[in-house]
Structure 1
Amino acid sequence: MSPTRSAEVFAPALTPFHADLSVNRSAFIGFCRWLVSQRVGLAVFGTNSEANSLSVAEKIDLLEALVEAGISPAKLLPGVGLCALADTIVLTKKAVELGCAGTLTLPPFYFKPAHDDGLFAYYSQIIQAVGSDRLKIYLYHIPQFTGVGITHALIERLIKAYPRTVVGIKDSSGDWANTESMLRSFPGFSVFPASESLLEKALPLGAAGCISATANVQPRTIVNAIEHWGSHEFAGLQAEANAVRSLFQRHPMIPALKYVVGEAMGDRTWRNVRPPLCPAGDEWAGTLARELAALNFSMAAS
């Protein structure tokens, strides 16, 4: 048995900062190159990229820098959804201009409650303003952060109105019943669970792969698991990925990921995060390092 389509892995690439909290462009490009070398795509400006702590200008600069550095735009699925419609349109136009594979588009998340009519109008305005058949929108459902859910009724309405543009969703709700329902209700729609731990259940239902925070540190393991789906090796790879994922989930995810990347790179500045986040605490970070060592974890061998 195999997935019903070619499944992909995207990493919401971490954003490194200098001591003054300005973006470290060279470190970002280098890290993204490493991720691509591990055969994953780049969901830059996702939640774990600290996207909503980055300005529009910073995002455009980094997106252009990645393409200028030779990273194929076909590997890029940038996060573009912001509260200000005009900002979302600017970022979306830039993504289309550069030839990105698509956009990962949060709903506007300040004014609540947000009703489906208003959310439909938001996405419709983006599509009309960009005016390109090259635009591919992947919705981003993460209600525990946004407080704004993307309902099945809204998905159905968007697919009906824009079948060639609204092509998928990342479900970060953490609710398997919701993910399963999306997979069963919208065949042909690219549904990405937000955790590799769901691959075993999601792939048989036609999941498009996953967009996972821990793809930043174990990209190869996740890719290998997908490639070995249906073989006797899959269970072991899934268990390996699950064990690592579970350790990170016990700690603040972004500081934990940055701590581990910094240790692997030999660069403590990777620990820097923008407020309101706080850097990894020495006590719990040390515990995480020991737990990962007990699993013989290594980014180089992930």
Structure 2
Amino acid sequence: MANSDLRGIVTAAATPVDASFEVDVPRLAQHCARLLEEGCTFVSTFGSTGEGASLSTAQKIAAMAVLKAEGADLGRHIPAIMTPSVDEAAGMAKAAAVLGCRAILVLPPFYYGAGDAGIVAFVDEMLKRAGRPDIDLLLYNIPQLSRFAYTPALVDAMQAAFGEQVVGLKDSTGDVANGVMLAERYPNLSIFTGDDRVLTPLLAAGGAGMIGGMPNLFAADLCAIYDANGNDTAAPLVEKQAARIAAVDNFGGIGALKAGLAARDGHPGWCRAVPPLQPIGANAAKQLFEAFGRTGAFLTENV
């Protein structure tokens, strides 16, 4: 694999925001540094977990520039492009390349019912307006939110159009069969899952790892599952992660992850979410932490 570094556990980093819903860059920098220290190979900023669709391109570029200026290694950052505006997408792609990001994670343009040709045309125009930057593309397959899937036919079309610039794909369908199929069909691409429960079979099929939200709180356990390299010895940890995913889904999704980060760091600002998302309530947080406790992860509602 030409891009053999694109493997491992990549955290889809949550984004801390201040009372004005601007990115809290110092806290984001601390969070990303901690995730890398805990064994994650990269962090992916401003994706779904990072509320990327709720933040403007200007906000994201400004935050990335400050991260770079403050010494963050953006060579270990993979920011997401999550916009149906080709001009906004181009601005993000250009900035990511100029700032030295390792790759960009590209969501299909949502809203209009574009077919495969339209999505290829969107990415082509994005790259054209960005000045054809020398930056790798990871395709972001999350049709339950974007409305469009990176099917094999579309992946083939993207490779035909952009060649080796397409280096991988994140499959957030949660479908084991789909992830395994992609890993087997595209051995030269880095195929990631967005779901902890798919990680072991994906690795066994030659997949690259995971890009997901759960490492925000459980990076060490996800890295241990990855290190098992598809072996069933990781089954007890996978079972714990499945229970933790269920708890997060049941008690607020992104808000639940942020409540967990607030409790872990003792910083209530982590609970803020950019509207329309809302913080979870005290009762939901209590039930979330009780569910985590049953898996051996003890957080306290001290925020």
Quote the Cα distance in structure 1 between the aligned partners of 2:210 and 2:224. Answer: 13
- Between stretches 234-243 and 208-217, larger displacement belongs to 234-243
Quote the Cα distance in structure 1 between the aligned partners of 2:131 and 2:16. Answer: 33
Are the equivalent residues in 1 in contact too, given 2:169–2:190 (CA < 8 A)? yes
Deviation at 1:88, TM superposition (A): 0.5
Are the equivalent residues in 2 in contact too, given 1:83–1:108 (CA < 8 A)? yes
Show the counterpart of 1:246: 246
Mind listing any 5+ residue stretches in structure 2 that lack a counterpart? none
Deviation at 1:28, TM superposition (A): 1.4
Show the counterpart of 1:191: 191
Q: Deviations over 1:51-109 (max 9, x none)?
A: 11111111011111222222212210001231110111111011111111100011110
Show the counterpart of 1:275: 275
Deviation at 1:149, TM superposition (A): 2.0
Quote the Cα distance in structure 2 between the aligned partners of 1:207 and 1:72. Answer: 25
2:254 maps to a residue whose letter is: I
Show the counterpart of 2:219: 219
- Over 3 Å counting, the alpha-carbon distance change for 1:240 and 1:80 in structure 2 is same
Q: Give the secondary structure class of the aligned counterpart of 1:162.
A: helix
Deviation at 1:231, TM superposition (A): 5.8
Quote the Cα distance in structure 2 between the aligned partners of 1:39 and 1:170. Answer: 19
Higher relative contact order (CA 8 A, sep 6+): 1
Show the counterpart of 2:105: 104
Deviation at 1:242, TM superposition (A): 2.9
Show the counterpart of 1:56: 57
Deviation at 1:45, TM superposition (A): 0.5
Show the counterpart of 1:293: 293
Quote the Cα distance in structure 2 between the aligned partners of 1:21 and 1:45. Answer: 14
Deviation at 1:212, TM superposition (A): 1.0
Pairwise CA RMSD: 2.0
Deviation at 1:188, TM superposition (A): 1.1
- Over 3 Å counting, the alpha-carbon distance change for 1:233 and 1:179 in structure 2 is closer
Quote the Cα distance in structure 1 between the aligned partners of 2:221 and 2:188. Answer: 26
Quote the Cα distance in structure 1 between the aligned partners of 2:243 and 2:9. Answer: 18
Normalising by structure 2, we get a TM-score of 0.91
Quote the Cα distance in structure 2 between the aligned partners of 1:200 and 1:23. Answer: 34
1:236 maps to a residue whose letter is: P
Deviation at 1:251, TM superposition (A): 2.4
Q: Deviations over 1:2-21 (max 9, x none)?
A: xx987311111111122232
Are the equivalent residues in 1 in contact too, given 2:13–2:44 (CA < 8 A)? yes
2:213 maps to a residue whose letter is: A
- Over 3 Å counting, the alpha-carbon distance change for 1:52 and 1:297 in structure 2 is same
Deviation at 1:298, TM superposition (A): 4.8
Show the counterpart of 1:255: 255
Are the equivalent residues in 2 in contact too, given 1:141–1:150 (CA < 8 A)? yes
2:126 maps to a residue whose letter is: I
Q: How does 1:23-172 map to 2 (within 5 A)?
A: 23-40=23-40, 41-111=42-112, 113-132=113-132, 134-172=134-172
Quote the Cα distance in structure 2 between the aligned partners of 1:124 and 1:57. Answer: 21
Deviation at 1:207, TM superposition (A): 1.1
Deviation at 1:182, TM superposition (A): 1.6
Quote the Cα distance in structure 1 between the aligned partners of 2:71 and 2:106. Answer: 24
Mind listing any 5+ residue stretches in structure 1 that lack a counterpart? none
Q: Give the secondary structure class of the aligned counterpart of 1:42.
A: strand
Are the equivalent residues in 1 in contact too, given 2:202–2:230 (CA < 8 A)? no
Quote the Cα distance in structure 1 between the aligned partners of 2:117 and 2:269. Answer: 44
Are the equivalent residues in 1 in contact too, given 2:251–2:287 (CA < 8 A)? no
Normalising by structure 1, we get a TM-score of 0.91
Q: Deviations over 1:93-140 (max 9, x none)?
A: 1111111110001111021x2111111111122233344563101111
- Over 3 Å counting, the alpha-carbon distance change for 1:126 and 1:21 in structure 2 is closer
Q: Give the secondary structure class of the aligned counterpart of 2:105.
A: strand
Q: Give the secondary structure class of the aligned counterpart of 1:64.
A: helix
Quote the Cα distance in structure 1 between the aligned partners of 2:261 and 2:195. Answer: 19
Quote the Cα distance in structure 2 between the aligned partners of 1:37 and 1:179. Answer: 28
